[in-house]
């Protein structure tokens, strides 16, 4: 059993690292696309709200039935919030 637990921990760490790498890459792409567009804080707020709703709408019904719509929404909001933080920090840096 300890070996199984160690395997699961390694897998969780690997998946978290992959998620973070993908999020960093996506944030770089968004920052590059948004830089110099002259967007206001209100524009960005609307962008993030729209992205969140779009992601929830298109992915809100996982086919395997493992997650509820509420769980999917919460996870989506968390990911978009992390993305937003990274993108806005990059935009603030110039």
Lowest mean pLDDT among 24-33, 47-56, 62-71, 80-89: 62-71
Mean pLDDT of 43-68: 83
State if pTM tops 0.85: no
Report how far apart, in Å, the C-alpha atoms of 93 and of each of 16, 40, 65, 88, 89 are: 26, 16, 41, 9, 6
Domain ranges of the chain: 2-93
**pLDDT tens per residue across span 27-48:** 999 999 999 999 999 999 999 9
């Amino acid at each position: 059993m300890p070996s199984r637990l160690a395997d699961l921990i390694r897998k969780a760490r690997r998946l978290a690292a992959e998620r973070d790498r993908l999020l960093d890459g996506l944030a770089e792409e968004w920052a590059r696309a948004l830089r110099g567009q002259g967007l206001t804080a209100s524009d960005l707020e609307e962008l993030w709200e729209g992205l969140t709703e779009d992601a929830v709408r298109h992915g809100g019904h996982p086919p395997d039935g493992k997650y509820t719509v509420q769980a999917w929404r919460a996870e989506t909001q968390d990911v978009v919030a992390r993305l937003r933080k990274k993108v806005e920090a990059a935009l603030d840096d110039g």
